[in-house]
Structure 1
Amino acid sequence: MRHPLRSLITALLAGALLALGPVPVQAATPATAPATAPAYLTREAVFGAPGNGWAQVERYLDGTPGFTQEQYPDDGRGDQDGARVTYFGGVGRPFSGRFLLYSAAGWDTAAGTPVLLVHGANDNADRAWANPGESGSCGASSCPATGMAQALAAAGHRVFAIGFAHKQGDDLMQAQAVGDALALIRARTGAPQVDLVAWSKGEVAARAWVSSVKPSWGRSYAGDVRRLVTLGGPNGGLDYVYAHGWAFSLATWPACGGTANAPSPHLYMTCYGSYTAQPCLGVLPGGGRDCFPGQRQLLARWDGTYGVDGTMQDWWTTYYGGQGYYTSGRGIQAAIDAGSLIAPLKRAGVPAAVRSYLLAGGSADVPGILNENRGPSDGLVFTASALDTAGYGTVGGTALLSGLNHMELAWAPEAIGQVRAWLG
Structure 2
Amino acid sequence: MADRRSPGRRWRLRAARVLAVVGVVAAAVVASPAAASGATPPPYLTLEASYGAGTVGNGWERVERYLDTTTGFRTEGFPADGRGDQDGKRVTYFGGVSRPSSGRFLLYSAPGWNTGSRSTPVLLVHGANDTADRAWANPGESGGYGCGAASCPSTGLMQYLAERGHRVFAVGFAHKQGDNLMQAQIVGDAIAVIKAKLGVTSVDLVGWSKGQMSTRAYVSSLKPAWGRAYAGDVRRLITLGGPNGGYDYPYAHGWAHDFSIWPECGGKVNAPSPHSHMTCYGLYTSHPEFSMTPSGGQDNYPGQRQMLARWDGVYGVDGAAQDWYTTYYGGQGFYTAGTGIQAAIDAGSLIAPLRSAGVPASVTTYLLAGGSADIVGIFNENRGPSDGVVFVSSALDSTGIPTVGGKATIASANHLELGWHSTAAAQVATWLS
Short-chain TM bin:
over 0.9
Contact kept, 8 Å, 1:15 with 1:128, in 2: the verdict is no
- For structure 2, the residue ranges without an aligned partner over 5 or more in a row are 1-5, 21-38
Closer, same or farther: CA 16–281 of 1 in aligned 2, 3 Å:
closer
Matches within 5 A, 1:32-51: 36-49=40-53, 50-51=56-57
The one-letter amino acid of 2:347's match is A
What CA distance in whole angstroms lies between the structure 2 residues aligned with 1:332 and 1:13? Answer: 21
> Superposition pairs for residues 53-72 of structure 1, below 5 Å?
53-72=59-78
Question: Are positions 1:148 and 2:157 aligned together?
Answer: yes
1:121 maps to what in 2?
128
1:99 aligns with 2:108: no
The offset of 1:129, in angstroms, is 0.3
For residues 291-340 of structure 1, give each alpha carbon's deviation from its aligned partner in whole angstroms, at most 9, with x where no partner exists. 11100000000011111111111000000001100111110000000000
Amino acid at match of 1:10: R
- The answer to whether 1:10 aligns with 2:16 is no
Residue number in structure 2 paired with 1:261: 270
Query: Does the 8 Å CA contact 1:212/1:220 hold for their aligned counterparts?
Result: yes
SS across alignment from 1:69: coil
The 3-state SS of whatever aligns with 1:336 is helix
Contact between 1:16 and 1:407, CA under 8 Å: does it hold in 2? no
Flag the 1:15–1:159 CA change in 2: closer, same or farther, 3 A.
Answer: farther
Structure 2 residue 209 is matched with structure 1 residue 200: yes
State the superposition RMSD in angstroms.
Answer: 1.5
Bigger shift: residues 345-354 or 89-98: 89-98
Give the corresponding residue for 1:286: 295
Secondary structure at the residue paired with 2:361? strand
d(CA) in 2 for partners of 1:398, 1:257? 40
Provide the secondary structure at the position in 1 that maps to 2:62.
strand
1:6-405 map, 5 Å: 9-11=11-13, 12-17=15-20, 36-49=40-53, 50-111=56-117, 112-136=119-143, 137-405=146-414
Instruction: Give the Å deviation of 1:259.
Output: 1.3
**Deviation readout 1:44-90 (Å, 9 max, x if unpaired):** 10000212221100000100011111111111111111111110111
Give 3-state SS (helix, strand or coil) of 1:230's partner. strand
Higher relative CO (Cα under 8 Å, sequence separation at least 6) belongs to 1
Would you say how many aligned residue pairs link Structure 1 and Structure 2?
404
Q: What's the CA shift for 1:248?
A: 2.1
Conservation of the 8 A alpha-carbon contact between 1:121 and 1:202 = yes
Gaps spanning 5+ residues in structure 1: where? 18-34
- Deviation (angstroms), 1:5: 10
Give SS of 1:392's match. Answer: coil
Report the Cα offset of residue 7 of structure 1.
7.4
Q: Is the 8 A contact 2:19 2:270 kept in 1?
A: no
| Cα pair 1:356 1:392 within 8 Å, conserved | yes
Name the amino acid aligned to 2:412. Answer: G
Distance in 1 between the 2:161 and 2:254 partners? 41
Structure 1: which amino acid aligns with 2:101? F
Q: Is the 8 A contact 1:213 1:348 kept in 2?
A: yes
Q: CA deviation at 1:16?
A: 4.3
After TM superposition, give the deviation of residue 413 of structure 1 in Å. 1.0
- Deviation string for 1:116-135 (max 9, x for gaps)? 00000010000000001000
**Cα distance in 1, alignment partners of residues 294 and 112 from structure 2:** 44
> Which amino acid in the other structure matches residue 212 of structure 2?
E
State the TM-score, normalized to the length of structure 1: 0.93
Task: Give the drift of 1:190.
Answer: 0.8
Shift of 1:271: 2.2
Compute the TM-score of the two structures, normalised by the length of structure 2: 0.91
SS at match of 1:68: coil
Identity level (%): 68
CA–CA separation in structure 2 for the residues paired with 1:283 and 1:9 = 21
